[in-house]
Structure 1
Amino acid sequence: MDIVLLIKAALMGIVEGLTEFLPISSTGHLILAGSLLDFTGEKAKVFEIAIQTGAMFSVMWEYRERLRRTVLGITHDPVAQRFALNVLIAFMPAVVLGLSFGAVIKAHLFRPVPVALAFIAGGLIILAVEHRHRRLYGALDLAGKRHARVETVDEMSYLDALKVGLLQCLALIPGTSRSGATIIGGLVLGLSRKAATEFSFYLGIPTLMGAGAYSVWKQRELLRWDDLPMFAVGTVTAFFAALLCIRWLIRYVSTHDFVPFAWYRIVFGVVVLATAWSGAVTWAA
């Protein structure tokens, strides 16, 4: 058993768990972390997608009561039926576009410099959206008073779900951030911070677990039974790191905006570009 490889897998799992639900791009961070740890190649790409399942298990654990009620009420409870259908509707655009363009995107954009550029662009978009929110709502935005058109996940319409699903497709570009696209996009669509954040969590369950299963199956010839400990370590560490992140983020959005994440993205992206340009860091593809 390669202990160094397992340590790298654990570090990658921690990176995945801590970044999956924040608007800073887990995929982008995994690409950059993999480059620094010399954890690259086709098998590493499969690993990076597969361990997202660990982060999704943390959502299922944290919201297990809501998911249980949905499963038990799917045949007779209108609230459960609407919630499940909204998640399904939002999930479908990523399936269609991911299957159509996923291979092309991986071939050309899964590199540190395009990721850094997406970091910066995403940060600027977050700043613009938060500026719009402050201009429209001022202190009401974080004061606990109703101002959003949709305050809870259960108030979302099918059209709301479809729009969020289309926005999620932007995350096919590494560095964009699935959570950023759905949460920040949800704010623009009129969702409250809590509703946008929670729906992003729920939508991630079929999206990322499906992507992980598909990636492992498609690249199964690359994998051996000897790889199982590496995948297990990455998945488990991603679960625990993500669980901590979920609990923190729900508290955070009740009293804060996403401006700090925007500046983090911009600064991080600039550092990556500067080190790549100067040769201080050799970023591997």
Structure 2
Amino acid sequence: MLIEMLKVILLGIVEGITEWLPISSTGHMILVDEFIKLNVSKAFMEMFLVVIQLGAILAVCVIYFHKLNPFSPKKSAREKRETFDIWGKVIVGCLPAAVIGLAFNDKIDALFYNAQTVAFTLILYGILFIVVENHNKNKEAQVKELSDLTYKIALIIGCFQVLALIPGTSRSGATIIGAMLLGTSRFVAAEYSFFLSIPVMFGASFLKLVKYGFHYTGNEVAILVVGMVVAFIVSIIAIKFLLGYIKKNDFKAFGVYRIILGIIVAVYFFIK
């Protein structure tokens, strides 16, 4: 049991880091799963890898609780309206992924959830990060505050989030690239990506829980709880790191990392 819990802790750490950094949690989970096998059924493992994201999402809710709470007594009427406006943009941005995901998620997973696709998308979006950063190098961001984000831009960013249905893309990676192409600052792109994740990942986790059923052994409950708690703690660290990092740096380093990881994944599974 101790060994299994250590495996769960490691998976929670990987989830907490990779869910927020634009480097693909799926790509890392596929590699980790090759070397660390939990003693659980395949169906439970598939559910666990999605539901563990609840811990990561709670980190966003805690860090941004005041900013996202429209009922805070500490906010003026104008600030409350601005908070409702943020939620409106989040809902609009989630619509494309909700529609496409509900209709085609299982088919997409069946077709693309494999090492070859993950390696390809890791490398492709790694290159795109470098290209987009070079493209924006001498350009000033048009959207420097989340309040400046229009509903039209929010919807288009939401369309980029649909790309993350392809394993290895990275939900945060797709939305950040889309947002930056549309003229947002790195900081706004990252924050909006965090907020978009709340309804999307809560919805995905709920669907997985319903699909799996609510019949768990004591061991399975322990695995879920430990995984989510670790993901929560590590996510807080990862989010604060990313926000601090992009104040002084661009996303090129993440692009290079993705390319290297994609090559490693491709070579490993080719040799295997």
Task: Indicate conservation of the 8 Å contact 1:129/1:184, yes or no.
Answer: yes
Shift in Å, 1:11: 0.8
Question: Using a 3 Å threshold, how does the CA distance of structure 1 residues 33 and 74 change in structure 2: closer, same or farther?
Answer: farther
Task: Indicate conservation of the 8 Å contact 1:43/1:222, yes or no.
Answer: no
Task: Indicate conservation of the 8 Å contact 2:57/2:197, yes or no.
Answer: yes
Shift in Å, 1:223: 4.4
Task: Indicate conservation of the 8 Å contact 1:75/1:81, yes or no.
Answer: no
Task: Indicate conservation of the 8 Å contact 2:57/2:201, yes or no.
Answer: yes
Range moving further from structure 2, 28-37 or 162-171: 28-37
Q: Does 1:213 align with 2:212?
A: no
- State the secondary structure of the residue aligned to 2:136: helix
Q: Does 1:104 align with 2:101?
A: no
Shift in Å, 1:224: 3.7
Q: Does 1:92 align with 2:91?
A: no
Q: How does 1:103-142 map to 2 (within 5 A)?
A: 103-134=106-137, 136-137=138-139
Q: Which amino acid aligns with 1:29?
A: H
Residues in 1 aligned to 2:195 and 2:76: alpha-carbon distance in whole angstroms: 16
- State the secondary structure of the residue aligned to 1:151: coil
The partner residue of 1:80 within 59, 70, 83 is 83
Task: Indicate conservation of the 8 Å contact 2:101/2:165, yes or no.
Answer: yes
Task: Please give the per-residue CA displacement for 1:16-42, whole angstroms capped at 9, x wherever unaligned.
Answer: 000111111112211221122124822
The partner residue of 2:154 within 141, 161, 172 is 161
Q: Which amino acid aligns with 1:78?
A: R
Residues in 1 aligned to 2:61 and 2:245: alpha-carbon distance in whole angstroms: 20
Task: Indicate conservation of the 8 Å contact 2:96/2:159, yes or no.
Answer: yes
Q: Which amino acid aligns with 1:205?
A: I
Shift in Å, 1:74: 12
Which residue in 1 is equivalent to 2:22? 23
Question: Using a 3 Å threshold, how does the CA distance of structure 1 residues 23 and 74 change in structure 2: closer, same or farther?
Answer: farther
Runs of 4+ in 1 over 3 A off after TM superposition: 69-77, 221-226
Residues in 2 aligned to 1:217 and 1:37: alpha-carbon distance in whole angstroms: 26
Which residue in 2 is equivalent to 1:150? 143
- State the secondary structure of the residue aligned to 1:149: coil
Shift in Å, 1:221: 6.5
Which residue in 1 is equivalent to 2:43? 42
Task: Indicate conservation of the 8 Å contact 1:24/1:265, yes or no.
Answer: yes
Range moving further from structure 2, 116-125 or 66-75: 66-75
Task: Please give the per-residue CA displacement for 1:206-257, whole angstroms capped at 9, x wherever unaligned.
Answer: 1111111111111116744431000001100000110000111111111101
Residues in 2 aligned to 1:122 and 1:29: alpha-carbon distance in whole angstroms: 15
Task: Indicate conservation of the 8 Å contact 2:56/2:235, yes or no.
Answer: yes
Residues in 2 aligned to 1:41 and 1:175: alpha-carbon distance in whole angstroms: 20
Task: Indicate conservation of the 8 Å contact 1:21/1:245, yes or no.
Answer: yes
The partner residue of 1:258 within 232, 239, 251 is 251
Task: Indicate conservation of the 8 Å contact 2:68/2:83, yes or no.
Answer: no
Question: Using a 3 Å threshold, how does the CA distance of structure 1 residues 161 and 270 change in structure 2: closer, same or farther?
Answer: same
Residues in 1 aligned to 2:35 and 2:107: alpha-carbon distance in whole angstroms: 24
Task: Indicate conservation of the 8 Å contact 2:69/2:83, yes or no.
Answer: no
Which residue in 2 is equivalent to 1:202? 195
Q: How does 1:187-198 map to 2 (within 5 A)?
A: 187-198=180-191
Which residue in 2 is equivalent to 1:64? 65
Question: Please, what TM-score do these two structures have when normalized by structure 2?
Answer: 0.93
Task: Indicate conservation of the 8 Å contact 2:66/2:72, yes or no.
Answer: no
Unaligned runs of 5+ in 1: 138-146, 280-285
Shift in Å, 1:92: 1.3
Unaligned runs of 5+ in 2: none
C-alpha RMSD over aligned residues: 1.9
Residues in 2 aligned to 1:221 and 1:240: alpha-carbon distance in whole angstroms: 25
Question: Using a 3 Å threshold, how does the CA distance of structure 1 residues 74 and 161 change in structure 2: closer, same or farther?
Answer: farther
Q: Which amino acid aligns with 1:32?
A: L
Question: Please, what TM-score do these two structures have when normalized by structure 1?
Answer: 0.89
